[in-house]
Structure 1
Amino acid sequence: MSGFMMAQHDTHITAHRPVATPPAQPSAAPIGKPPTSGGRDHRIDAMRGVALLMMFVDHIPQSLLNRFTMRNVGFADAAEVFVLLAGYASWLAYGRGFRKYGIAECLKRIFKRCVQLYIGQAIMVFVSVLSIRLWRHYTPVPVDFLEPELAHGLSWVWRVMMFDALPSNLNILPLYIVLLGGFPLFYLLMRTHRSLALVLSGALWMLVNLDPGLNFPNWLDPDGWYFNPLAWQFLFALGVAASAETERRGADFPRIDLLVAGCVLYLMFSALQAFPWAQWHLPDMRPFGQMMTPEKSWLSPLRLLDVMAIFYLVQSSTKARAWAAHSASGQILARVGRHSLEIFVVGTLLDLYARLVFNTFGDGLFLQVLINVTGLAILFALAAWLDKRRSRNRQPITAKT
């Protein structure tokens, strides 16, 4: 899931820079100042790194670690964080790019990025299907590992590659491609009137919440895409608008005490209502008891408010900025977020093999430790290697765009 989300050359976090501009250092952005074309807001990288790691954990149902991810203490989960940050970063990478490099060049860069995402999706689909087919020659594999239609023959290939069929756990990159492909249209609307662009985007989201049948078709599911692009585009648009507003203001979001208190109170309610009390054998403290779980597919209002509250608290906090830019843990997580496409693809495939191992050999404590420690170690090592390679490629000359 998020988004959840992913640029090899860092184009989703910073604006494209002229080749004469040196790469930004972690200390380049002074505390309390917003990201600029010459610096970067490491909070965005770090939040996306956290989201990617939580997505890795959440996609292994047997993993004990998924009891500790944000979906257990709130209505939203890592997918919402991923998509919101994808919108925020898209403005930095492409919104300013239209003014700096012209329409043709920026459209070319967006298309190139969509191709990279498509290749990542193709790799995950083919490796997943081939791995499951090979594994089941030696031991039974539950049917929910692969949709029955994909388990036999090759007739599924064109449907998956045309996004007419979206397999489970392989459905967030197609959403991202659609949202990024629609970015030029939203940019045009924002240039015309920023508030109008958000109103139109919000109206479409509200329409889908009133009629969830409005969706893209999915050959594997009569309900359509699990992540309904017509609804999730609003979260992406809010991220874009937040990034543009931060740039316009030349400062972080103002820290308004009343708004902070409202966000904290809402997140406390969300945590109490969403926490799996029964799973932990604790007394049920949900304020509204058996309230229906907010729908993820069309991004119900409770989930939207949850992720926006988290985003505001982080992006209005100078302490969060300092932690992300200067602490060792913040920089490690930011490194994961800077290479999110590679981390997401590798993490998704590791999820598959973890599920296969747990299904075949059980989910005892030894395998829990082995699978989770090994998987996370691979992701952190991959992020470190990619960061080192990028730094090496930038020297002795400049940032790669």
Structure 2
Amino acid sequence: MGPLDNILDRDIRLDACRGIALWFVFINHIPGNICSWLTLSRYGFSDTTEVFMFVSGLTCTMAYGHVFRSAGSWATICHTVRRSWEIYAAFLLLMLFLVVAVHWIDADLADGANVTVVLQQPGEALSRAAILQYRPVNTDVLPTFVLFHLLFAPWLLLLLRWPNATLAASALLYGLVQIYGWNLRGWPTNDWYFNPLAWQFLVTLGGWWVVVGRWRLNATRDVTSGDHAVGRIPDLVAGCCNELDQSGS
């Protein structure tokens, strides 16, 4: 059993966690909602967004890992690019829906929805939205996931071949972002709210957990129960690399 075999396991607990996370995000965006006291934002050092990013890394690695094993790297690229396009199209349609809704329902909502600039400069705003620089209120996460899915295939190949090095590089990039403040430019003002250069670390951590983390945990449990599986880990790594070589040929 190799690391790719772990990817094929579907755990419905992940779906439950992601569903709860989405509900918590919804609740936290309702001003003055007493139910927000039940969400993670009131406790600990993170909120539901971190949970959602981490679980997204888990589920995407499982889903695209299955495609990689069954159909190869080219099929994985096609799947990730198609998913990126779907999110991109959904983002543009949602933006247009918000603009039309605000225009017809109540123009006074334009400032709060961050669509005033579209009503004033429609050509410039739409072109900026097309390159993911302009985003209406509460749609910031969609452009970030457009980029994540677009780059997921090469990222997955790196994670499968060099999981620890990939995680270390991701952590290094996160640290540099904190030090130097790197971000992507937004329009008309400010940078990206969900900075992909920073949030990628949680997605990578989720993917690493699927490929290596669960693996090591299971091996440790086997050792404590008398089955010394740690000694088989080099063979598992070699098997993973062989599968990668065969898929790429």
TM-score, length basis structure 1: 0.50
- The CA deviation at 1:107 is 0.9
RMSD: 2.4
Hey, what does 1:83 align to over in structure 2? Answer: 53
2:194 aligned with 1:227: yes
- The CA deviation at 1:51 is 0.6
Superposed counterparts of 1:130-209, under 5 Å: 130-136=100-106, 140-141=108-109, 143-155=111-123, 156-209=125-178
Counterpart AA for 2:211: A
Quickly say closer, same or farther: Cα 1:249–1:55, change in 2 above 3 A: same
| Bigger RCO (CA 8 Å, 6+ sep) | 1
Question: Comparing 195-204 with 183-192, which one deviates more in the overlay?
Answer: 183-192
Residues 91, 240 of structure 1: 8 Å contact kept: yes
Residues 111, 181 of structure 1: 8 Å contact kept: yes
Identify which of 65, 70, 78 aligns with 1:95: 65
Counterpart AA for 1:108: C
Counterpart AA for 1:129: V
Residues 246, 252 of structure 1: 8 Å contact kept: no
Quickly say closer, same or farther: Cα 1:35–1:188, change in 2 above 3 A: closer
Superposed counterparts of 1:96-115, under 5 Å: 96-115=66-85
Counterpart AA for 2:10: R
Residues 175, 227 of structure 1: 8 Å contact kept: yes
Cα distance in 2 between the residues matched to 1:97 and 1:78: 28
Instruction: Give CA deviations for 1:113-133 in whole Å, capped at 9, x if unaligned.
Output: 112211221222111111111
- The CA deviation at 1:181 is 1.7
Cα distance in 2 between the residues matched to 1:36 and 1:234: 19
Residues 208, 230 of structure 1: 8 Å contact kept: yes
Q: SS at 2:135's partner residue?
A: coil
Hey, what does 1:123 align to over in structure 2? Answer: 93
- The CA deviation at 1:36 is 6.3
Superposed counterparts of 1:2-401, under 5 Å: 37=8, 40-136=10-106, 140-141=108-109, 143-155=111-123, 156-212=125-181, 214-222=182-190, 224-245=191-212, 248=215, 251=218
Quickly say closer, same or farther: Cα 1:153–1:198, change in 2 above 3 A: same
Identity of paired residues, percent? 27
Cα distance in 1 between the residues matched to 2:12 and 2:6: 9
Quickly say closer, same or farther: Cα 1:63–1:186, change in 2 above 3 A: same
Q: SS at 1:141's partner residue?
A: helix
Instruction: Give CA deviations for 1:57-90 in whole Å, capped at 9, x if unaligned.
Output: 1122243322332111133112111111111111
Residues 6, 215 of structure 2: 8 Å contact kept: no
Aligned residues between the structures: 217
Cα distance in 1 between the residues matched to 2:161 and 2:171: 17
Cα distance in 2 between the residues matched to 1:252 and 1:153: 59
Residues 7, 211 of structure 2: 8 Å contact kept: no
- The CA deviation at 1:183 is 1.7
Residues 183, 192 of structure 2: 8 Å contact kept: yes
Question: Comparing 229-238 with 154-163, which one deviates more in the overlay?
Answer: 154-163
Q: Could you say which structure has the higher helix fraction?
A: 2
Q: Unaligned stretches of 5+ in structure 2?
A: 222-249
Instruction: Give CA deviations for 1:294-322 in whole Å, capped at 9, x if unaligned.
Output: xxxxxxxxxxxxxxxxxxxxxxxxxxxxx
Quickly say closer, same or farther: Cα 1:196–1:148, change in 2 above 3 A: same
Cα distance in 2 between the residues matched to 1:162 and 1:175: 12
Quickly say closer, same or farther: Cα 1:125–1:252, change in 2 above 3 A: farther
